[in-house]
Amino acid sequence: MRAITFDIESISDSMVRGRIDVTEQELTVVAIHDSETNEYSAYFKEELPKLWPILERADMLIGFNSDAFDIPLLSRYYPGDLKHIQSLDLLSEVQKVLGRRIRLQSLAEATLGKGKSGDGLKAGEWWKEGKKEKVRDYCIEDVRITRELYDYALTHGLLKYKDLRDIRDIKLNTSQWSKDSKEAPAMTHALQL
């Protein structure tokens, strides 16, 4: 199974009820990990045509808050329909079990013993300051953390988070996460509809 773990950075000055409005966002960079090559790479908005063939050969997209944010935003730029690719949103999986959202930072610290190198708002400031490479590196690091959380959950059947002072487990059913590519073939011919 070819899985693409990905994250998007974007900019906008609009928020709706304390939340980022996806329709008002402008994509700045997409970072990916390709399980086929085990490599990390990033694509600025003007380089997105190089990303499309990779996504079109993916069996699954893996992200964090990707179903609600990253996929809808990336779909605005893609000439086809990304919803044809199976996706796994780690935040949604955690929310199904806990009934609430947990920040990527919290999961990374408790599960992996390390945190993020910044946050999305800071990345937006860096972009506006012309620090594009710093935003690219930050986005790749978020993909690295997301991929490590995915791998940890597959191996251990759980992720961890800090609840006040205690580290708690989030038991996850990962049995359908990593299907054999024969069961879930890539949609190489049907995405650009």
Q: Residue 160: what pLDDT? A: 96
Burial of 143 (0-12, 13-18, 19+ CB in 10 A): buried
Q: Residue 185: what pLDDT? A: 47
- 86 pLDDT more than 80: yes
* Each residue's pLDDT tens digit, 7-54: 999 987 655 445 666 777 899 999 999 999 999 999 999 999 999 999
Q: Is 103 left (phi over 0), alpha (psi -120 to 50) or beta?
A: beta
As a whole number of angstroms, the distance between CA 108 and CA 118 comes to 13
Q: Residue 19: what pLDDT? A: 61
Q: Residue 53: what pLDDT? A: 96
Q: Residue 18: what pLDDT? A: 54
Listed by start position, the domains of the chain span 3-171
* Each residue's pLDDT tens digit, 87-140: 999 999 999 999 999 999 999 999 999 876 666 667 778 888 999 999 999 999
Domain 3-171, classified CATH 3.40.50.10190, yes or no: no
pLDDT category at 189 given cuts 50, 70, 90 is very low
φ, ψ dihedrals at 33, nearest 5°: -120, 130
Q: Residue 91: what pLDDT? A: 97
Tally Cβ neighbours within 10 Å of residue 150.
24
- 184 pLDDT more than 50: no
More confident residue, 41 or 82: 41
Q: Residue 164: what pLDDT? A: 82
Q: Residue 32: what pLDDT? A: 98
More confident residue, 83 or 2: 2
As a whole number of angstroms, the distance between CA 28 and CA 181 comes to 31
Q: What is the mean pLDDT of residues 182-189?
A: 46
Q: Residue 188: what pLDDT? A: 46
